[in-house]
Amino acid sequence: MARTEIIATSCVLDCPDTCSLEVTVSDGAIEKIGPGEGNPITGGFICSKVRSFGKRVYHDDRLLYPLRRTGPKGKAEFDRISWDEAIETVTERFQKIREELGGEAILPYSYGGSNGFMTDELIDSIYFARLGASRLAKTICAAPTTAVASDMYGKMAGVAFSDYPEANFILVWGANPKASNIHLVPYLKEAKRRGAFIAVVDPIRQLSSDLVDLHLPVYPGADLPLALGMIDTWAKAGKLDQDFLAAHADGLDSLLTAASSWPLEKAAAEARVDVAKVRELAERFAEASPALLRCGWGLERNQNGGHAVAAIMAMPALLGKFGGRGGGYTLSNSGAGGMDASKIWDDASWRTRVINMTELARVLNEPDTLDGPPIRALFVYNCNPVATVPDQNGVIRGFMRDDLFTVVSEQVMTDTARYADIVLPATTFLEHRELKRSYGNYVVGATQPVIEPRGEARSNQAMFRALGRAMGFIDDAFGWSEDETLEKVIDAIRLNGKPVSPQPLRAGKVHGYDFDGPTPIQFENVFPSTKDGKIHLTPACLGKTPYKYRPVRSDDYPLALISPATSKTISSTLGEFNLPELKVTLHPSDATSRGITTGDRVRVFNDLGEVVCLARVDERLSPGVVCIPKGAWMKSSLNGRVSTALSPAHVNEVAGGACFNDARVQITAIEQ
């Protein structure tokens, strides 16, 4: 008879919700993944992506053994080797590169795919620090919003999702909870049922009109003038909360000076939205109480993004919307908790040059532009840059270099793993221990292995332990077991400044925060933690020309391409199954003028490259705006290229963030 057990764990994928899970395991194999108890916000349901995550764990494409490349780069021709051989090969190559060019010629390249305190920026960082490798600026997502939130509010804890029904007005700007924060949707519905006015600013109409009272389809990159136009309207109408601002904020003059250049009609014209609707939005926001802003990450992905986020995040302060349950803002809620890595290792000792991950194409192809040696070795883990980083053709050109030694640690044969010299099989979050601070709900989620690692897959912990020992590094961390690391990390975690109790985290459950109340209320039990305790309305990260607007115009490429997240993937994770056929979506008027109908094969192109895929005509987009989803794999398109082949690799001046939505393209039908 089969031995069946139900094991508690948490979802630590890159999603704000951090669901509690229950995994049914029969004879050591995953049978079912469903919602668990513990996280009250996410009890009851989980997304379809994780319900079917077992498909990735057991698929034929799962990487089970270390591999060595035998064919041309990119062809995914490999031979199986042992872990000992793989570790020896990597160690010898890294030693040789260090001797010839120095450690900075080695670049660790990672993001937080399914990783948290235990497997990202801990033992991996110790390993690369001891190598003297280059450091990586993780800018592909959330860098500008993080910089603004930090400089403006000192990452003050945001409004909890469970308090959304208390609001009378909710503005969702640059976020699509249906795709990547589904547990917010029931709270929006409850707020609506109680009479809240819900407005959304997003280039695409993603949420149903039953839920949304007002939708502004802002032109990509024009969030900044739109926000400044609203601020100017409030300033002229005497709506600013001068008493609150005098007591709690500085930097008002610079913001209002910038806003004065954007009278509402001009701002609406630049953002290509109806001025009457913008006026209504501004008036309702100013009058409502409690009023709430949910700021997302979509608006940061253009060269005006950091400035736009700052203008939008200033709104609750300008209108004095803090101080009651359901009032204020939510951006990332991760800032109220964290792990003090310095309790585990001397993290300040790693001071090599920093490489911006968004600029990978330039970094690999134009060594003369680097300060220091060229990159001779890449160690890729927790991410899939060939599919997800701007200028895909440039990135591929870099990966094809004969003199580049590439190691990829992965769960499945991704587009990036195909270019590796050495592939190292990695565990999924169902096969190792992890602790992850949620950036949506106020919990840390813990995983425990629900099955044994498949094949010879290893956790990052185990992999970097072996690599560190092979290099002769003597830090204690290279000798710790997974359980010992767990205890060290638990000891270093602080949530709202308070330590955590280990029991629930050892058991794969979530651990909540204590805010001296059930949830944070801004300016009641949580406050800005900037150095002077003030809100900085013109934060330092905006540089010398704060709130300056730089539009992207192109005569040759008249269509703005956006590449938002969908409900099908988590970045590119699960893109191998869930986005099998790439489509570009365009408005009926753009389709008609080009003789395109749904299902046609089309060419989407600009000076960086082209994507050949199918067309889908959809009036939820505005004229002049087209969409190819993020997270697709190369096999999904008809020419092996995805949206990043069209994304420019220039970066935001705020924190060097990626500018995917600055892509401008043309589309033509391909003769059938």
Give the nearer residue to ligand SF4 in terms of CB position, either 15 or 87.
15
| Beta carbon of residue 436, minimum distance to ligand SF4 (angstroms, whole number) | 10
| Beta carbon of residue 11, minimum distance to ligand SF4 (angstroms, whole number) | 3
Give the number of residues in contact with ligand SF4, rule: CB under 6 A.
13
The only residue of 7, 36, 49, 649 in contact with ligand SF4, by rule CB under 6 A: 49
C-alpha span between 173 and 144 (Å, rounded): 15
The only residue of 30, 41, 46, 659 in contact with ligand SF4, by rule CB under 6 A: 46
Residue 524 and residue 634 in contact, taking contact as beta carbons nearer than 8 Å: no
Q: Which of residues 205-234 bind ligand SF4 (CB under 6 A)?
A: none
Give the nearer residue to ligand SF4 in terms of CB position, either 19 or 143.
19
Q: Which of residues 481-500 bind ligand SF4 (CB under 6 A)?
A: none
Per-residue tokens: 478: 């290279």
Give the nearer residue to ligand SF4 in terms of CB position, either 334 or 647.
334
C-alpha span between 32 and 22 (Å, rounded): 8
Give the nearer residue to ligand SF4 in terms of CB position, either 44 or 543.
44
Is residue 18 a contact residue for ligand SF4 (CB under 6 A)? Answer: yes
Residue 550 and residue 303 in contact, taking contact as beta carbons nearer than 8 Å: yes
Q: Amino acid identity, residue 469?
A: R
| Beta carbon of residue 613, minimum distance to ligand SF4 (angstroms, whole number) | 26
| Beta carbon of residue 94, minimum distance to ligand SF4 (angstroms, whole number) | 34
| Beta carbon of residue 332, minimum distance to ligand SF4 (angstroms, whole number) | 15
What is the number of other CB atoms lying within 10 angstroms of the CB of residue 336?
Answer: 21
State the binding string over 162-201 for ligand SF4 (x if CB under 6 A, else -): --------------------x-------------------
Per-residue tokens: 54: 């077992």
| Beta carbon of residue 243, minimum distance to ligand SF4 (angstroms, whole number) | 41
| Beta carbon of residue 106, minimum distance to ligand SF4 (angstroms, whole number) | 32
Residue 519 and residue 162 in contact, taking contact as beta carbons nearer than 8 Å: yes
Residue 444's DSSP bridge partners are 437, 511
Q: Amino acid identity, residue 489?
A: V
Q: Which residue has the tokens 């909360």?
A: 241
Q: Which residue has the tokens 């406050």?
A: 527
Give the nearer residue to ligand SF4 in terms of CB position, either 112 or 320.
112
Please give the order of strands across the beta sheet that includes 510-512: 434-437, 443-447, 510-512
What is the number of other CB atoms lying within 10 angstroms of the CB of residue 205?
Answer: 17
| Beta carbon of residue 36, minimum distance to ligand SF4 (angstroms, whole number) | 10
C-alpha span between 267 and 286 (Å, rounded): 18
Task: Tell me whether the omega of the peptide bond preceding residue 499 falls within 30 degrees of 0, making it cis.
Answer: no
Rounded-to-10 torsion of CA 645, 648, 652, 653: 140
Q: Which of residues 550-589 bind ligand SF4 (CB under 6 A)?
A: 570
The only residue of 8, 15, 291, 495 in contact with ligand SF4, by rule CB under 6 A: 15
| Beta carbon of residue 176, minimum distance to ligand SF4 (angstroms, whole number) | 13
Per-residue tokens: 309: 């986020």
Give the nearer residue to ligand SF4 in terms of CB position, either 108 or 337.
337
Between helix 252-259 and helix 223-236 the angle, nearest 10°, is 100
The only residue of 8, 41, 47, 122 in contact with ligand SF4, by rule CB under 6 A: 47
C-alpha span between 104 and 97 (Å, rounded): 9
Rule CB under 6 A: which residues touch ligand SF4?
11, 13, 15, 17-19, 42, 46-47, 49-50, 182, 570
